[in-house]
Amino acid sequence: MDYSYGGETDNSNPAEDRDRINRLGRPNDHHNHTTNDFLDYAPHTFLAIREKFNLDTKTYCKEWEGGAKMKLNEGGASNAFFFYSGSERFIAKSCTKAEMDVLLDMASDYKTYLVDNPESFLTRILGAHRLRMYGTMFYFFVMENVLKRPDTSNAGDTPEWNTDNDNQTLLKYDIKGSSYNRNSTIPKNGQSVTCKYCNRKYSYQNPANRLRSCPDPF
């Protein structure tokens, strides 16, 4: 597959950029199901976000050239999977076509907000893409990894990226945005379960017997 890097920010109509696509790779051939190509959705919109945070397109693309790391979603309801870039600076998360359409519908407003509010705690989505490999479509968007931060200890215009800063992370929380379809059946006596309060394993006993072996009673 051939790759190319984007140009400068385009001042075109943001509404038009919603449906603009940059195609990188081999030309589309409807008679060849093994055709591989890469689509860059709303390219100028996400380029403006990257430029706001001093990320040039060449660096953005090169992060994925070597040794991307895959991680399957553990217990998530979306069945999404993740790819980390070589230095883990960026995370690519898979999504459905419908989810991609929602992202593209809000992309222009999202870009405007981030550019006007660079200190926002909103996740920074840096690109929206589709990869076709051997007839199969993969939709995904790329986010900045908030657990990997630039090392600004050395003075300079371009801070070095610190990929070994786990000592700066004290606690991590997996926040669920919905309670939909997250109920479970009553476990059997003696079954090994995880406490929803302390997240530790314990042997379940029927509450009617007033027996509970959770390490941290609630």
CA angle at 189 for the pair 187 and 193, rounded to the nearest 5°: 50
Cβ distance 49 to 14 under 8 Å? no
Is it the case that residue 173 has pLDDT exceeding 80?
no
Q: Bridge-partner residues for 72, per DSSP?
A: 81
Task: Note the pLDDT of residue 20.
Answer: 59
Beta bridge partners of 125: 143
Q: Which residues of 152-161 are buried (b: 16+ CB within 10 A; e: fewer)?
A: eeeeeeeeee
Question: Average pLDDT over the chain, rounded to whole?
Answer: 74
Provide the CATH topology of domain 35-147.
Phosphatidylinositol Phosphate Kinase II Beta (3.30.800)
- DSSP assignment, residue 166? G
Q: Does 187 score more than 50 pLDDT? A: yes
Taken in order 67, 72, 74, 80, the sign of the CA dihedral is positive
- As a whole number, mean pLDDT of residues 98-105 equals 95
pLDDT of the residue at 158: 47
What pLDDT is attached to residue 191?
85
pLDDT on residue 4: 38
Segment 145-162 shows an average pLDDT of 57
Q: Does the pLDDT of residue 131 top 70, yes or no?
A: yes
Residue ranges per structural domain of the chain: 35-147, 184-217
- More confident: 179 or 31: 179
Contact 129, 40 (CB under 8 A): yes
